[in-house]
Amino acid sequence: MTTHSFIRTSLCAALILAGCASPQPPRIKPSVDTGPKRQLDLARAFETGSDLRRAIYLYQMIATDNTRSPVTIEATRKAAVLTGSVRNPERSDSLSLQWFKKYLSLPITPAERENAELCISLLDRVLTQQRHGMYYAAKADSLQEVIRHLGTALVSQSQRVLELERETRNANAEVKRMKDIDVRLSQSRRRR
């Protein structure tokens, strides 16, 4: 898989994930305890103001409340969506996946369940692609290191071959010179 197709797959999954969020939050029935409701309103205000870090923190804080209230359900959904959002600079697909799984354990409508299951499926695929991408990147780095090593070894071996060829030429020239000397000596002995 090429880097470009990995990036395209990740971007498509992120866009689909962003579409998994329900356009309107579920209706919240007024309750006696207004603390979580006030926190939810504050989290929405942070989200609207693009302070996603604080919004996610508040949504997660509300969602960790083990009640099955509508406020907890909405906070869990928002924590799941915003944690994996491309707008989130501290985006974490694996954490988003955990929040979506928690969201599935809550009493939600069949349509919301279907959307959450689709998001979980897409996040699983994205995480699998990321793992494959990291694996192939590590393999590519390893192969580049081998190529660099082989290139260095090849240059070294080429230099050694050139040295041996030069030595061979010198040795051949020396043998020829010695042969010429031997021929001259033989000729001079015969003349005597």
Domain extent listing, the chain: 3-135
Express as a percent the part of the chain with pLDDT over 90.
Answer: 1
Class in CATH terms, 3-135: mainly alpha
* H helix intervals, the chain: 3-20, 35-48, 52-63, 70-83, 93-104, 110-191
**Cβ neighbours of residue 159 under 8 Å, at least 6 residues apart?**
none
Name the region of 180 (left: φ>0; alpha: ψ -120 to 50; beta: rest): alpha
pLDDT by residue, tens only, the chain of 192 residues:
565 565 556 555 554 555 555 444 444 444 445 577 888 888 888 888 888 888 888 888 888 876 778 888 888 888 898 888 888 888 888 888 888 888 888 888 898 888 888 888 888 888 888 888 888 888 888 888 888 888 888 888 888 888 889 989 898 888 888 888 888 888 888 877
Tens of pLDDT, residue by residue over 163-176, are 889 989 898 888 88
pLDDT at position 156, please? 84
Read off the pTM: 0.54
Tokens of 74: 């909405």
Query: CB neighbours (10 Å) of residue 77?
Result: 27
